[in-house]
Every structure is written in structure tokens, then in C-alpha cells.
Amino acid sequence: MKVIATEIEGVVIIEPTVFGDGRGYFFESYSQREFDAKVRPVRFVQDNESESRYGVLRGLHFQKGANAQSKLVRVVKGRVLDVAADIRKGSPTFGKYISVELSAENKRQLFVPRGFAHGFAVLSEEAVFQYKCDNPYAPETEGAIIWNDPTVAVDWHLPETDIILSEKDKHHPTLEQAEELFDYHTDYYA
């Protein structure tokens, strides 16, 4: 696997080595040994999958404190714009984001470390999105930033009129209003 650094330290794009022939293709979508050596030691404990139609935007979500999550995300059908926003107060990249198109065709993955809000928008007619988490879902510690936060200012690559949100995702605070964000100087993996 090839690991591509982004402008925000810790957020990386992973490109697998794909072997293809007349029968189809094969690739190793995850190797604990290789991930630990090339990205960081993380023990994933939960796999999730969602199916969404064009225009669905999910995010920008995170879990707080001891329940903070790293995520390794990929698309197995369709394509999405995936976003990781730095919400670590004191970070030199606080309020900045990384976006990458993930698709069934490019087979890329994005690693989102603890301390980041995560979201994605579906760019194809339909998308099946899979992600690994290193902490189980804990609804009592979930947090979020509104999808159109003016500080983060994500370009979702969709007309605003096409964006479909859950009721919950319509009412999150802005980055400025959000409580219990992360501290850049705290090691959330300790």
C-alpha cells in the first residue's frame, strides 16, 4: 500500500496495490501490520457501512474525550467527497480541512485520526461507504460541527440545493460555538 501525506499532519490517503486481469481484480484492503508500520499503530474494533443516494451529506461528526475515534474510510460502490476537519484547539491547522474523492474505481482510503470531525457527500447516483473505527460508537459523547460552518468552509462539490441532510445534521453548532473540542497538546491515543 502507498501512503500519501496531506497538508494536515496525521491525515493520510492510502492507495492499495491492485492486481487485475481478465477475471477482475484483487487487493488487500487492510493489513494491521502494514498499517501500524506506515500510518500509526491503531486497533480497529468496529466496521460500519452506509448506503446513500446522490446529494446525501453526512457530517461533520466526531466523538469526544475517551471515546474519540480514528476512522479508516473507503467507498465500495459509487463515489463520495470525504472530509476530515481539524478541530484540535491550538493546532497550526485548526479549522482547516482535507477533502479527497473516494470511489469504487480509485479504491483510495482516508485515515482520519482522533481530534478531527469527519463527513462525506455522495457525488454519484448511489454510494456504499465503509469505515473502520478504533472505538465503539458512544452516542452520549457524540459531537458535530454544522456542515456549512463558515470557518471551516468546506467545498462539498455539490450545489447547495442538491444537499440532503438528516434533521440532526441540520442543527449542529458552528466550530466557534462547539463545546468540548480537542486539545492539540493532548495525546488522545495514550
Per-domain boundaries in the chain: 2-183
For 181, other C-beta atoms within 10 Å of its C-beta total: 18
Pairing status of strand 88-89 against strand 182-183: parallel
Count of beta carbons in the 10 Å neighbourhood of residue 1: 16
Cite the active site residues: 61, 131
Entry pTM:
0.95
Along the 190 residues of the chain, how does pLDDT read in single tens digits?
999 999 999 999 999 999 999 999 999 999 999 999 999 999 999 999 999 999 999 999 999 999 999 999 999 999 999 999 999 999 999 999 999 999 999 999 999 999 999 999 999 999 999 999 999 999 999 999 999 999 999 999 999 999 999 999 999 999 999 988 999 999 999 8
What span, in angstroms and rounded, lies between the C-alpha atoms of 41 and 35? Answer: 7
Task: Give domain 2-183's CATH superfamily.
Answer: Jelly Rolls (2.60.120.10)
Q: Is the dihedral of CA 87, 91, 94, 100 positive or negative?
A: negative
